[in-house]
Amino acid sequence: MKHLIDQIPDSEPLFKAAASEFYSSMEPYLEEAALKQLLEPERIHIFKVNWLDRHGVIQTNTGYRVQHSSALGPYKGGLRFDKSVNLDMMKFLAFEQTLKNALTHLPLGGAKGGSDFDPSDKTKAEINNFIHSFIDQSYSLFGPNKDVPAGDLGVGQEEIALMAKYHQNLTGEFDGTFTGKPISMGGVLGRQEATGYGLIYILMHLLDDLETDLTDKRVVVSGCGNVGLHAAEKVVEMGAILVGISDKQGYLQDEEGLDIAYIKDKRLNEKLSLKEIDGKKFSEGSVFDVPCDIALPCATQNELTSDHLRRLAQQGCMIIAEGANRPLTQEAVDILKELDVYYVPGKAANAGGVAVSGLEMQQNAQKAVFSFEDVDLKLQEIMALIYQEIKEASLVLDNPYHFVKGANYVAYQRILEVYNLQRLV
């Protein structure tokens, strides 16, 4: 069966790494036909996006939507706008999304999309032009029962608002095709917080099993986007000390604890970088050099290397829980077994975001408005269930607390059930 992994070309290193990790953790339980079906995306869309820049010159980017699996529901997953986006990255993220969405128990298939467009150095008008054209080229792929995109790196609430608007212009329907919308456009309360809060909820279940809690635990968070800021906010609310947090330029560090409310306000409302917020506490380099008890990588893939991991473990770090999608390099994941560190992979730990997107879809379908409290409670239930199931699976598989195995197993079984039901007889 390994030939199915070997067949993935080396020009797709991210997808190959995700697929081989899945394969090696699940080998004894896999059926060849099902693995083949699971690895192959159902549909891959690649399209050209022409847009007008500030000088009146036409620029061209590539748009992607990998509709990986509709076994469990309509395609669901974010759109990423970043210069690193390519087909390999989209295939890897769509595959992971399929497994992640399966863990939520919600009727969601898996997809991912985006473009190699870099919004960081663009004007608002340029971003608007780009998004208009992106939706012109892709709108027919999307619909509330077909494929429901959301945000990801480079795509926040403002971008989603534009996409939903252009989509509505073309279809004439206000139908909740996008999630992560502003509240006034049908967005659900709690979606912005969901991924970060969900990460902390699952972390608390693990700590509970280890007969401890967050009180006075030293925590580092990488990434100052939607996920990192909300994870940091929640972890401090629960009694931990935020000793480090990073953005693209470097990190802030304080053994006594950083003031997350202040940082969040400056980041979100004044759009300041961490260096601009507090130059004295700022260093260049990796936040994973800061000694801590718990590390929460919430920025992007492959940001935490085996060297970081060794150092973290030596300095007493006991848990790594992923807010981002595959922030640990493959080498780092491979050495985990030598180290005394609990590891909760992103497909389980950051599933809160897409889970609350699922609640936003329910809210839109019912033409209802859910309260923040109801959404947050539901999020807590979903994260508790994910934790319970992946832990139990790890016990059944004789690898207690091996959450990679546990998560892959639970997701695979859920999807396999559908494959078996849909077998032609």
Active site residues per annotation: 112
Shortest separation between residue 353's beta carbon and ligand GLU, angstroms: 4
Within residues 20-39, the interface with ligand GLU by CB under 6 A covers none
- Of residues 78 and 196, the one with the C-beta less far from ligand GLU: 78
Cβ count within 10 A of residue 130: 25
Task: Find, among 257, 221, 215, the residue nearest to 239 by Cα.
Answer: 215
Q: Which residues pair with 66 in a beta bridge?
A: 44, 112
Question: What distance, in Å, lies between the first and last C-alpha atoms of the chain?
Answer: 24
- Among the residue ranges 50-58, 70-78, 139-147, 394-402, the one whose residues contact ligand GLU (CB under 6 A): 70-78
- Among the residue ranges 30-38, 72-80, 236-244, 371-379, the one whose residues contact ligand GLU (CB under 6 A): 72-80
Chain position carrying tokens 């090696």? 24
Q: Residues 63, 73, 77, 323: which binds ligand GLU (CB under 6 A)?
A: 77
Within residues 149-188, the interface with ligand GLU by CB under 6 A covers 150, 152, 179
Distance (Å, whole) CA 90 – CA 65: 8
Within residues 123-152, the interface with ligand GLU by CB under 6 A covers 150, 152
- Of residues 186 and 353, the one with the C-beta less far from ligand GLU: 353
Cα distances (Å, whole numbers) of residue 25 to 102, 126, 161, 389, 411: 17, 44, 39, 17, 13
Shortest separation between residue 98's beta carbon and ligand GLU, angstroms: 11
How many chain residues touch ligand GLU (CB under 6 A)?
10
- Among the residue ranges 75-83, 164-172, 243-251, 401-409, the one whose residues contact ligand GLU (CB under 6 A): 75-83
Q: Which helix (H) or strand (E) holds 297?
A: strand 294-297
Shortest separation between residue 111's beta carbon and ligand GLU, angstroms: 8
Task: Find, among 414, 410, 417, 408, the residue nearest to 20 by Cα.
Answer: 408
- Residue 52 burial class via C-beta count within 10 angstroms: exposed 0-12, middle 13-18, buried 19 and up: middle
14 binds ligand GLU (CB under 6 A): no
Hey, what are 266's tokens? Answer: 């400056």
Instruction: Kindly write out the interface string for residues 335-354 of this chain, putting x where it contacts ligand GLU by CB under 6 A and - elsewhere.
Output: ------------------xx
407 binds ligand GLU (CB under 6 A): no
Render 4-26 in DSSP notation, one character per residue: HHHTS-TT-HHHHHHHHHHHHHH
Shortest separation between residue 79's beta carbon and ligand GLU, angstroms: 8
- Of residues 148 and 309, the one with the C-beta less far from ligand GLU: 148
Contact 53, 126 (CB under 8 A): yes
Q: Which residues pair with 295 in a beta bridge?
A: 220, 320
Within residues 353-372, the interface with ligand GLU by CB under 6 A covers 353-354, 357
Shortest separation between residue 182's beta carbon and ligand GLU, angstroms: 15
- Of residues 151 and 244, the one with the C-beta less far from ligand GLU: 151
115 binds ligand GLU (CB under 6 A): no
Shortest separation between residue 241's beta carbon and ligand GLU, angstroms: 28
- Of residues 327 and 353, the one with the C-beta less far from ligand GLU: 353
Distance (Å, whole) CA 243 – CA 67: 39
Q: Which residues contact 49 (CB under 8 A, 6 or more apart)?
A: 60, 61, 62, 63, 115, 117, 130, 133, 134, 137
- Of residues 80 and 405, the one with the C-beta less far from ligand GLU: 80
Hey, what are 106's tokens? Answer: 């919600």
Contact 206, 241 (CB under 8 A): no
- Of residues 192 and 394, the one with the C-beta less far from ligand GLU: 192
325 binds ligand GLU (CB under 6 A): yes
70 binds ligand GLU (CB under 6 A): no
DSSP 3-state percent helix, strand, coil across the chain (nearest 5): 50, 15, 30
- Of residues 61 and 357, the one with the C-beta less far from ligand GLU: 357
322 binds ligand GLU (CB under 6 A): no
Shortest separation between residue 370's beta carbon and ligand GLU, angstroms: 16
Which residue's C-beta sits nearest to ligand GLU?
A: 78
Shortest separation between residue 189's beta carbon and ligand GLU, angstroms: 15
Contact 23, 8 (CB under 8 A): no
Task: Find, among 153, 135, 142, the residue nearest to 109 by Cα.
Answer: 142
* Residues of this chain that bind ligand GLU (CB under 6 A): 76-78, 150, 152, 179, 325, 353-354, 357
